[in-house]
Amino acid sequence: MAPDAAAPLKPCGLTRGSWERLAHAFEGEVCDIVAADSRNVIERVIEGLRRDFSRSVLLDLGCGIGTFIQTHGRRFQSVYGADFSLNMLRYARRRCRGVSNVRWLQADLSRIDHGTMPTGDLTVCLNVVTSPSKRIRNKMLRSLWKLTNPEGTTLLVVPSLESTLFVHRTIKTGQLTGATKRKLLSRGILMCDGVAQKYFSKPEILEAIQQAGFRNCTARRVWIPWSEEGFEDGHPRLKGKALPWDWLVVGHRDGSGDRASG
């Protein structure tokens, strides 16, 4: 979703109520990164892990309407889709009827009960860690680490601050002007459809996920259509330009009883 030009800036993130209301319009109003992945980067990253997932567990934290599970769930022995919106889970269940090995759970990654949650050999968390609160974001990443099995891997997608700046320079809009917006931009906090969300630079998200305990972390671009930024793909200003992107971060949890600090 493109940052808003006119929305008032408030330091609040997406609430459960607003997420529940989005469920019926998710595909039209939210960037579903698996569906929007213009160059199949996520698919290629999964293939690049070179693992036989047929005896593995997939845990999708913040599964939304279930697109990742619908696309990749059949690879796994068992699958769990978790979201804090019951409406999202109902929609995801309907969309994923063809995936027989799924259980659906209502859970909030920022306040999760680790004792009752399953863990995954592959944990997926796509555009969920976007709270404007650093404390909440760190708590989410720590939970993601705890819910990833030893020798497991996480796929984390977050909005890209570099892409937002690229979009602004390319289209030359006024959406990032003003002292308040510049201050928020310096922290990577922007309004998106009326909600304050965190956008990450590449070094920042790599540092954050490593501090959460993951090792051998890498980040690459997941290219998305210009339409996800509110512009027609055939817009004359976009001719010859690259696409916007989110960051896809791959992190690994080693199997030596590692413990993240904090």
Is residue 153 in a domain?
yes
In a domain, 259, yes or no: no
User: Worst-scoring range by mean pLDDT, 65-74, 103-112, 224-233, 241-250?
Assistant: 224-233
Domain assignment present for 50: yes
Q: What is the CATH number of the domain that holds 110?
A: 3.40.50.150
How confident is the model at residue 8, as a pLDDT? 36
pLDDT at 259 over 60: no
pLDDT grade, residue 202 (50/70/90)? very high
Which H/E stretch holds residue 79?
strand 78-83
Residue range 67-122, pLDDT digits in tens: 999 999 999 999 999 999 999 999 999 999 999 999 999 999 999 999 999 999 99
Whether residue 180 is contained in a domain is answered as no
Rounded Cα–Cα distance for residues 207 and 198 (Å) = 15
Residue 2: pLDDT band with limits 50, 70, 90: low
Kindly tell me if the per-residue pLDDT of 133 is higher than 80: yes
How many domains does the structure of the chain reveal?
1
Here the tokens at position 235 are: 């817009």
- Name the residue range of residue 218's domain: 17-160+200-232+240-252
Range scoring the smallest mean pLDDT among 31-35, 155-159, 230-234: 230-234
Name the more confident of 123 and 192. 123
Residue 185 maps to a domain: no
Q: Which amino acid is at 45?
A: V
Q: Could you tell me the pTM of the whole model?
A: 0.86
Least confident piece of the model among 107-111, 184-188, 207-211, 223-227: 184-188
Helices (H), 113-237: 134-146, 161-171, 179-186, 202-211
Q: Which residue has the higher pLDDT, 261 or 210?
A: 210
